[in-house]
Chains A and B, each alone.
Chain A
Amino acid sequence: MTEIPLTNAAPPRPAASFRRPDRRIWLGILLLLAIGIVTLAPIAYVIGASFDVSAIGRPFKFGLAGWNDLFTNKNSLDAIYYSFLLSVRVPIAIIAAFLISWLLIRVQIPGRRFIELSLWFGFFLPVVPMVMGWILLLDAHYGLLNTLLQKLPFVHGPIFSIYSISGMIWVHLSLTTIPIMVILLTPAFRQLDAAYEEAADIAGAGITGTLRRITIPLLVPAIVTAFVSGLIKSLETFEVEQLLGTPAKIFVYATRIYDLINWEPPLFPQAMALSSLFLVILLVLAVVYQRYLSRTGDIATITGRGVRMRPRRTSSPWAYAASAVLILYIVIAIFLPLMILILGSFTKLFGFFFIENAWTTAHWREVLGDDRFLRAAFNSIFLGTAVGLIGILVFSLIAWALVRADIWGRGLISVIIWLPWAIPGLVLGVTLLSLMLNIPGISWLYGTVIPLVLALLIKELPIGVQLLRNSLGQVSGQLEEAARISGAGFTATFRRVTLPLIAPMLVSVFLLIFAGTIRDISTVVLIATPGLRTLSLLMFDFAVGGRFESASVVGILIAVLSLVITVIAFRIGNRVGIGN
Chain B
Amino acid sequence: MRRGTLGALIFCLVLASVPCWAADWQDGAGPEWQKLLEAGRKEGKLVIAGRPDMAVPMSAAFKRDTGIAVDFLGGEGREQLTRIAREMRAGQVTIDIVFGGQGMIPFVNDGFMKEIKPQLILPGVTDVKNWTRGQLKWVDKGNAYLFEGSEYVFGWALLNSDVIKPGEIANWTDLLKPQYKGKIASFDPRVNGPGQAGISYLADLHGVDFIKQLFGTQDITIANNSRQLVEWVQRGNYPIALATLVTEIENFRQAGVKNLAIGQMSDGAGAVLGGSSVIAEPKGAPNPNATAVFLNWYASRPGQEVFSATWKVPSLRNDVHVDGIPDYVVPKSGATYVDQYTEAWYLDRYLGQYQAVLVDLIGK
Contacts and interface: CB of A to CB of B under 8 A. Distances in A.
Interface stretch (A212-220, A260-268, A401-409, A492-500): A260-268
Nearest to B252: A349
Interface in B195-249: 196, 221-228, 231-232, 235-237, 245, 247-248
Given A246-B222, A247-B223, A264-B190, A541 B257 contact: no
Given A242-B224, A526-B79, A141 B359 contact: no
Contacts of A351: 231
Contacts of B196: 264
B53 A370 contact: no
Nearest to A430: B82
Contacts of A542: 52
Contacts of B73: 529-530
Interface SS of chain A: loop
Nearest to B76: A544
B51 A545 contact: yes
B256 interface: yes
A372 B237 contact: no
B257 to A, nearest CB: 6
B364 A73 contact: yes
Interface in A248-275: 249, 259, 261-267, 270
Contact of A355 (B94, B222, B255): B255
Contacts of B76: 262, 544
B363 interface: yes
Contacts of B224: 242, 246
A261 B83 CA distance: 12
Contacts of B231: 351
A454 interface: no
A546 B94 contact: no
Contacts of B336: none
Interface in A62-95: 69, 73-75
Given A246-B224, A545-B74, A265 B245 contact: no
Contacts of A530: 47, 71-73
A305 to B, nearest CB: 56
A199 B231 CA distance: 61
Nearest to B73: A530
A139 interface: yes
Most chain A CB inside 10 Å of its own CB: which residue of B53, B85, B231, B256: B231
Contacts of B359: 263
A547 interface: yes
B283 to A, nearest CB: 14
Interface residues of B, number: 54
B223 to A, nearest CB: 7
B55 interface: yes
Contacts of B88: 57
Nearest to A527: B83
A415 to B, nearest CB: 30
A2 interface: no
Interface in A220-251: 242-243, 246-247, 249
Interface in A353-397: 355-358, 370, 372
B355 interface: yes
B191 A262 contact: yes
B47 A546 contact: no
A141 B78 CA distance: 32
A73 B232 CA distance: 30
A531 interface: yes
Interface in B147-185: none
A433 B226 contact: no
A443 B90 contact: yes
Contacts of A434: 86
Contacts of A443: 90, 92
A109 to B, nearest CB: 41
A540 interface: yes
A438 B90 CA distance: 6
B115 to A, nearest CB: 21
Interface residues of A, number: 57
B355 A544 contact: no
Contacts of B75: 525, 537, 540-541, 544
Contacts of A372: 55-56
A246 B190 CA distance: 14
A110 interface: no
B87 interface: yes
A548 B55 CA distance: 16
Nearest to A140: B237
Contacts of B257: 349, 352, 355
B119 interface: no
B103 A264 contact: yes
A72 to B, nearest CB: 10
A452 to B, nearest CB: 14
Nearest to B257: A355
A73 B363 CA distance: 9
B129 interface: no
A141 B237 contact: yes
A484 interface: no
Contacts of A261: 82
- Which of B52, B92, B245, B355 has the most CB atoms of chain A within a 10 A radius of its CB? B52
Contacts of A264: 78, 103, 190-192, 196, 355
B190 A259 contact: yes
Interface string A306-327: 0000000000000000000000
B135 interface: no
A142 B259 CA distance: 15
Contacts of B223: 246-247
Contacts of A430: 82, 86
A56 interface: yes
A139 B237 contact: yes
B86 A437 contact: yes
B221 A247 contact: yes
Given A57-B89, A437-B92, A446-B94, A546 B245 contact: yes
Contact of B256 (A142, A265, A356, A526): A356
Contacts of A247: 221, 223, 232, 237
A547 B55 CA distance: 13
A69 B196 CA distance: 23
A378 B157 CA distance: 43
Nearest to B310: A545
B251 interface: yes
B90 to A, nearest CB: 4
Nearest to A370: B56
A537 B80 CA distance: 13
Given A262-B78, A526-B79, 11 more contacts: A247-B237, A249-B221, A261-B82, A270-B364, A525-B79, A530-B71, A533-B74, A542-B52, A545-B51, A545-B53, A546-B251
16 contacts: A139-B235, A247-B232, A247-B237, A263-B190, A264-B78, A264-B190, A264-B191, A270-B364, A349-B255, A352-B257, A355-B257, A446-B92, A526-B83, A529-B47, A531-B71, A546-B226
Closest 4 CB pairs of A and B: A541-B52, A437-B90, A57-B89, A545-B53
Interface of A: 56-57, 69, 73-75, 139, 141-142, 242-243, 246-247, 249, 259, 261-267, 270, 348-349, 351-352, 355-358, 370, 372, 430, 433-434, 437-438, 443, 446-447, 525-526, 529-531, 533, 537, 540-548
